[in-house]
Structure 1
Amino acid sequence: MNSPDPRETDAPHEPAGGPTPVPIPAPVMPPSAGARLPSVRIGIWGGTASGKTTFLAALPIAVANDPATYGTWRVSGTTEEATRFLLDGVDTLTRQRQFPNATLAPARLAWSFHGETIEPGRGPSLLRRRPRRRESEFVLEIQDAPGVAYSQNRVAPDVVDFLAEANGILYLFDPLAGDAATDNFQYFYGVLQMLVARTAAVGKLERGRLPQHVAVCVTKFDDPVIFNNAVRAGFVTQDADGGRLPKVPDTHAQAYFDWTCQNHRHSGAPLVREALRTFFLAERVSYFATSAIGFHLNWSDTFDFRDFINIEHVEGRPRVRGLARPINVIEPLVTLERGIRGRLGRDARN
């Protein structure tokens, strides 16, 4: 009987002659082929009445809006608590047309984002590549804490701990804060100093500055005082078609923040601006004119400067007048995710 050909059996065998070949390991698949990307931890930072809870409640609505600029996204809670927060926030802003109650106790929430982002073209204008779409997936971890937890005299240690461990920070700057009780600087500088000390103690400062990416959101863009002043200052443009929604172009967003600080009714605002420039890396800071509810549109779903206020008062309480149309709510998160992913990728290659 002939012996079986070694190539026709799964049993191990020795080569007939010659040197033993070097074993070949199983191939390692790249992360995009199956492994899930790690969480992106983003802290939200802002004082009392800055709009943190309303901003987070508007996220699912913003995700469902026009995807032309930042792509199509889906968001879902990773825990029952996070899912309930999303459902309650959407119901409050849309069906009840009310504003969510302020946060009373710190809560850590995690949401899963799945989307197709649109990356802008790069290179000189004549040779610039066309924008391309990129599949993206990440888990966003956020700590929502009451404004008092950021107060200069009562900073909560767990708030600083979360921000220190975060990859990015959503900083909400309230342009309507006008007294010592709500002043932005009151809820900024104490946290900042503790954050710097904590980061320096573990040797994670970069070039002497904090390593986090920061999205500075100037909130309440829809407020008539803020909006009318921004129009008169020349910061506002409008889309050419569709609802002709007003906006501050990305190229003017930092100047808009600077102008807001300079013309702020309380003297602490310019100090916030200078501290951001002093303690964070400039290339990791981006700026946005933000509104959680957006503008009221007329019967043809078009912006009308004569009637754009999207808040009405019923029995002495503010309510959302029409549909909530968030402005620059998902965009800061997408910008942070792009910057963080890009930096992590570069660090891994070096």
Structure 2
Amino acid sequence: MTSAFREDPYESESAASTNPQRPAARPMPGPRPMPAARPMPAAPTRGPSADQTQIVLVGRAGGGKTTFLSAILDGGPDPDVYGDWRAIVPSAGSALIDELQASVEEQRFPTATVEAATETWTIRGEYRDRVRKRILARSVLEPGEKLEFELVVVDPPGGNFLAPGTTGILGPLADARGLILLIDPTRMIPAAVKERTEPGKELVATFRYFNRLMRGLDAKLAEQGNKGRLPHHVAVCVTKFDDPVVYAEARDAGLVMMDEGRQPTVASGDPAKAFFELLCRKSVGANDARIPEIINARFRPERLEFHVISSIGFYIDPDEGFDEEDSNNVVGDGSIRSHNPINVWETLIDLYESIRSEQ
């Protein structure tokens, strides 16, 4: 290996003496070569760090997808914790986007999807600048990182998810790095099901929907050579926490806490997982108790997250704060009294960060 040190010409010939009392004449050293020019450092990139990460939002019809998207389109996460994020929708628009924007402007519940929609939204964010201590206790302001990923909206109307192979949804699901699985508790809690089921209309069990969806995704990825568990990072989300019946179920189970004193919430992680499993065990559909088993068998446990969310949140009185007796945020005509989403943006960003941590 070549030495990193330059050979000194005055020492290199010290042994080449023809007369021990008079050393041989040494040639004058030539000029030392100039060091190679160092390239100027590149200017720091401040644009978004875009990657091909795709997260797909998936859930049965009426299970909360449209209101979830409305909360993404209209709001953002806690900026002190997550920084500044926003959704950028296709400029051409669509029936789904038009309805979402109208519902935000008119402060009402979005109407149910009647046309199939598969589109991609760009999610762009920037973390806040951070102050870090450096040498001699000097503080240095580090600019926040800019990030970008894609949220794929797969929103077939009606019961089309029961035949995923015929609706073209398996391709986006197979290609995604992350899945947000929406669980509708109002199709599981007996009191809610009785209140909402129309006479003579069949209730499609949650198990039936998820079982067919997972089997279809299994088959699609097997065609692509997958031989192990499904590779996705998954956020399992119990929706509609603001519904009085759903809230009461969580409260009676001792899982509710106050979010910084503003409104009730169920903490993400183990508490949310416990609530999800409780709903499955107590569901009107006996097979729903097997849903956790289906999810655990197909995805790696370290890639599973659990959340309890609400796309509109509870009504919070500006003066009195949260009042359990006056917390319903939706009035009779479908108008929304106030927008206080719970864990919507946070779920999306947390899932993206868990994917990013393995890249």
Q: Normalised by the shorter chain, which TM-score bucket?
A: 0.7 to 0.9
- Compute the displacement of 1:218 (Å): 0.4
Q: TM-score, normalised by structure 1?
A: 0.76
> What corresponds to 2:106 in structure 1?
95
Match of 1:186 among 208, 213, 218: 208
- 8 Å contact kept, 1:60–1:86: no
Within the alignment, does 1:196 sit opposite 2:218 as a pair?
yes
Q: Shift of residue 148 of structure 1?
A: 1.9
Q: TM-score, normalised by structure 2?
A: 0.74
**1:257 partnered with 2:257:** no
Verify the 8 A CA contact 1:289 1:328 in the aligned structure 2.
Answer: yes
What is the DSSP-based 3-state SS (H/G/I as helix, E as strand, rest coil) of the residue aligned with 2:50?
coil
Matches within 5 A, 1:263-274: 263-274=282-293
Equivalent residue, structure 2, for 1:286: 305
SS in structure 2 of the partner of residue 97 of structure 1: coil
Counterparts of 1:305 and 1:187, CA distance in 2: 33
- Structure 2 distance, partners of 1:140, 1:273, is 25
* Alpha carbons of structure 1 residues 108 and 74: separation in structure 2 relative to 1, 3 Å: closer
Structure 1 unaligned blocks of 5 or more: 1-16, 120-131, 345-350
Aligned residue for 2:147? 136
Q: Could you tell me which amino acid in structure 2 is paired with residue 249 of structure 1? A: A
Which residue identity is paired with 1:324?
H
**Matches of 2:38 and 2:289, distance apart in 1:** 59
Please give the alpha-carbon distance, in whole angstroms, between the structure 2 residues aligned to 1:117 and 1:198.
40
User: What's 2:265 paired with?
Assistant: 247
Offset, 1:87? 5.9
2:315 counterpart residue number: 296
1:118 and 1:282 mapped to 2: Cα distance? 33
Distance change in 2, residues 1:135/1:177 (3 Å): same
Matched, 1:176 2:182: no
Whole-Å separation in 1 of the counterparts to 2:272 and 2:42 = 41
Root-mean-square deviation over aligned CA pairs = 3.2
**Structure 2 residue aligned with 1:68:** 80
Would the aligned equivalents of 1:113 and 1:140 in 2 still touch at CA under 8 Å?
Answer: no
SS at the partner of 2:286? coil
- Distance change (3 Å), C-alpha of 1:162 and 1:231: same
Structure 2 Cα separation of the partners of residues 204 and 155 of structure 1: 18
Matched, 1:116 2:127: yes
Once residues 167 and 40 of structure 2 are traced to their aligned partners in structure 1, the CA distance between those partners, rounded to angstroms, is: 45
Distance 1:27 1:196 in 2: 51
How many angstroms apart in 2 are the aligned matches of 1:113 and 1:308?
Answer: 32
The C-alpha deviation readout for 1:68-116, integer Å capped at 9, x for no partner, is 333321222243226x855641431452413333242132232242232
Name which of 44, 57, 66 aligns with 1:44: 57
The CA distance in 2 between the partners of 1:113 and 1:34, in whole Å, is 11
Structure 2's unaligned 5+ residue stretches are: 1-29, 131-142, 194-201
CA contact (8 A) 2:115 2:156 kept: yes
Does the residue aligned with 1:137 lie in a helix, a strand or coil? strand
1:125 aligned residue: none
Q: Secondary structure of the residue that 1:200 maps to in structure 2?
A: helix
Shift of 1:337: 0.9
Q: Distance in 2 between matches of 1:227 and 1:162?
A: 33
Confirm or deny that 1:327 pairs with 2:331: no
Structure with bigger gyration radius: 2
Q: CA deviation at 1:40?
A: 2.2
Counterpart-to-counterpart distance in 2, 1:142 and 1:31: 33
Deviations 1:50-81, CA, capped at 9 Å, x for gaps: 11122112212331x54233332122224322
Q: Does the C-alpha gap of structure 1 residues 75 and 274 become closer, same or farther in structure 2, counting only changes over 3 Å?
A: same
Cα distance change on mapping 1:74 and 1:213 into 2, 3 Å: same
Q: Mark the CA change 1:324 to 1:240 in structure 2 (over 3 Å): closer, same or farther.
A: closer
Q: 1:133 to 1:114 in 2, by over 3 A?
A: closer
What is the CA–CA distance in structure 1 between the aligned matches of 2:88 and 2:220, rounded to whole Å?
Answer: 32
| Alignment-derived partner of residue 217 in structure 1 | 237
Identity rate, percent: 30
